[in-house]
């Protein structure tokens, strides 16, 4: 074989090598693009599922708030208290009122638990009519419990020192606890901290009645521009974790509150941690690279409250 033939063979090998490299790179980049597209699609599906649940929660809370506002106004006009008012008993040793037995002799008047500070006097008609309005909301409360998976509690908490809660808390006398007003579901919703009268959400907390880790969504109730109280829904994290684990995706998904605390995650053991991502990057349908070596896709679920984020290691 002469030198020219060797050179020709070498050139051919180099060309074939170049074609192989270019072709491999094209296939590789195309495959990466396909994977990224698949991840984005599946992450969007997760975010949409979370959003569907949030829409249902928001819809029920707004319905409860609007109905309660109407019921209170109608009570103040009609002046016909709910029959369950007669079931309220006063306990002078505790200076508290409650309903032990939710069933009357003929029918069940209400399904929930009522507790209040002091004695419920018919002379204090404004308070009685507000309590009646909460009792008339009973069927809406019951519908929420039946319609939203992993909903643990639904309630109305009034600034007039009473609360009405579903489901019913059995056995012991339920006394009103003034510490309710120190909780996030109240402090974040009151006019001073929520002049926009928007839906707010608490951080994750462990339920005192043993129902596990919950988050509360609450919305203020106003009648004639006067703040009266809040309606609230307590939802188990199990509902969100289930959605986050649906459909296997490369990477990890997180549901974050406004402080980047993790509410739910696709990986076990991620709760109660903080994801350190600049807030400016956490907006709807945003793809960004972070300094931690990961790529992120984010979707705003509840404005200024809940963000869905999917994290993909760049390697």
pLDDT value, residue 273: 60
Element (H, E) at 286: strand 286-289
Residue ranges of the chain whose pLDDT lies below 50: 104-106
pLDDT value, residue 207: 85
pLDDT value, residue 172: 61
pLDDT value, residue 106: 46
220 SS3 class: strand
pLDDT value, residue 83: 87
pLDDT value, residue 77: 87
pTM score: 0.80
32: its two tokens: 């990466």
β-bridge pairing 286-289 and 213-223: unpaired
5 SS3 class: helix
List the one residue out of 181, 180, 176 whose CA is nearest residue 192: 181
**DSSP letters along 92-134, please?**
TTTTEEE-S--B-SSSB--SSEEEEES---TTSHHHHHHHHHH
List the one residue out of 249, 196, 206, 236 whose CA is nearest residue 43: 249
pLDDT value, residue 105: 44
76 SS3 class: helix
Cα-Cα-Cα-Cα torsion 269, 270, 273, 275, nearest 10 degrees, comes to 160
């Amino acid at each position: 074989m002469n030198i020219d033939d060797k050179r020709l063979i070498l050139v051919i090998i180099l060309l074939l090598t170049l074609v192989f490299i270019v072709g491999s790179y094209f296939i590789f980049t195309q495959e990466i693009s396909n994977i990224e597209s698949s991840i984005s699609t599946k992450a969007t599906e997760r975010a949409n599922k979370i959003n569907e649940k949030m829409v249902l929660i928001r819809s029920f809370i707004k319905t409860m708030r609007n109905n309660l506002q109407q019921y209170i106004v109608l009570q103040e006009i009609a002046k016909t208290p709910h029959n369950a008012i007669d079931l309220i008993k006063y306990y002078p040793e505790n200076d508290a009122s409650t309903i032990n037995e939710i069933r009357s002799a003929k029918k069940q008047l209400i399904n929930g638990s009522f507790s209040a500070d002091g004695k419920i006097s018919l002379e204090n008609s404004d308070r009685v009519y507000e309590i009646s309005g909460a009792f008339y909301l009973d069927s809406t409360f019951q519908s929420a419990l039946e319609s939203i998976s992993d909903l643990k509690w639904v309630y109305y908490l009034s600034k007039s020192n009473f609360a009405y809660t579903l489901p019913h808390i059995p056995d012991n006398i339920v006394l009103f606890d003034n510490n309710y007003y120190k909780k996030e579901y109240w402090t974040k919703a009151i006019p001073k901290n929520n002049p926009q009268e928007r839906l707010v959400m608490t951080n994750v907390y462990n339920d005192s009645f043993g129902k596990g880790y919950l988050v509360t969504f609450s919305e203020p109730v106003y009648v004639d521009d006067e703040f009266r109280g809040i309606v609230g829904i307590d939802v188990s994290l199990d509902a969100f974790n289930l959605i986050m684990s649906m459909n296997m995706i490369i990477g990890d998904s997180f549901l974050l509150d406004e402080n980047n605390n993790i509410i739910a995650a696709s990986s076990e053991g991620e709760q109660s941690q903080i994801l350190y991502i600049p807030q400016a990057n956490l907006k709807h349908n945003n793809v960004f690279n972070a300094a931690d070596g990961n790529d992120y896709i984010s979707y705003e679920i509840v404005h200024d409250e809940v963000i869905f984020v999917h994290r993909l290691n760049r390697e």
